[in-house]
């Protein structure tokens, strides 16, 4: 389990640093988010100048939405929607569609079991992937229980930030 000590103000400062770094390096970024439902894109765009680095993002809360945007249905059928493979396909797909240097894909279960995918849905289990210039890294995360849905999203955002900064260093 990842630590349960996530501080919203610090996570927001981290994303301000990230956005400024992307602007400085002239790198573009996009997301395809399920579990975080746009929180990552929102954090990136909270900083002035974000329009230079993010052209758009997808919130694909349902399997159908992921498939509509180009995630192969066979991938979801074979590995389930909650998998590193699906997260990787999400990251690669959004990067390709937006022509971005960086694509982030996030899927998982926050507080409750997903009634549409009950057998694969385990609260606190999150899968995400980061595609940088065509090279994709996938991650699995088990979150401790968080007090609110927002804190679940921010906790995932912090883990993604840390992973992305390692890839960009």
- Percent pLDDT > 90 in the chain is 83
Q: Which residues have a Cβ under 8 Å from the Cβ of 16 and sit 6 or more positions away?
A: 46, 47
At 81, which CATH number?
3.90.950.20
Whole-number pLDDT of residue 105: 98
Q: Which residues have a Cβ under 8 Å from the Cβ of 27 and sit 6 or more positions away?
A: 53, 101, 102, 168
Whether 129 has a pLDDT exceeding 70, the answer reads yes
> What are the tens digits of pLDDT across the range 24-51?
999 999 999 999 999 999 999 999 999 9
Give the residue among 130, 134, 121, 119 at the shortest CA–CA distance from 156: 130
- Assigned domain for 35 exists: yes
**Residue 135 backbone dihedrals phi, psi, to 5 degrees:** -100, 125
Strand, coil or helix: 71 = coil
Instruction: Find the domain containing 131 and state its range.
Output: 8-168
* pTM exceeds 0.85: yes
Number of structural domains, the chain? Answer: 1
- Assigned domain for 1 exists: no
- Assigned domain for 2 exists: no
- Assigned domain for 117 exists: yes
Lowest mean pLDDT among 13-22, 103-112, 118-127, 146-155: 118-127
Per-residue pLDDT band at 117 (split at 50, 70, 90): confident
Per-residue pLDDT band at 2 (split at 50, 70, 90): low
- Assigned domain for 147 exists: yes
Whether 167 has a pLDDT exceeding 80, the answer reads yes
Whole-number pLDDT of residue 115: 74
């Amino acid at each position: 389990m990842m630590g349960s000590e996530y501080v919203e103000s610090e996570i927001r400062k981290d994303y301000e640093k990230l956005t400024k770094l992307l602007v400085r390096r002239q790198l573009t970024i996009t997301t395809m988010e399920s579990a975080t439902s746009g929180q990552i894109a929102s954090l990136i765009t909270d900083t002035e100048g974000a329009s230079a680095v993010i052209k758009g993002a997808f919130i694909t809360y349902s399997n159908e939405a992921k498939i509509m945007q180009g995630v192969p249905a066979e991938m979801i059928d074979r590995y389930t929607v909650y998998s590193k493979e699906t997260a990787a396909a999400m990251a690669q797909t959004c990067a390709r569609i937006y022509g971005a240097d960086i694509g982030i894909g996030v899927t998982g279960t926050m507080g409750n079991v997903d009634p549409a995918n009950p057998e694969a849905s385990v609260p606190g289990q999150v899968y995400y992937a980061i595609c940088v210039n065509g090279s994709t890294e996938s991650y699995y995360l088990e979150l401790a229980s968080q007090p609110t849905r927002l804190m679940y999203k921010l906790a995932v955002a912090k883990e993604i930030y840390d992973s992305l900064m390692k890839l960009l260093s």
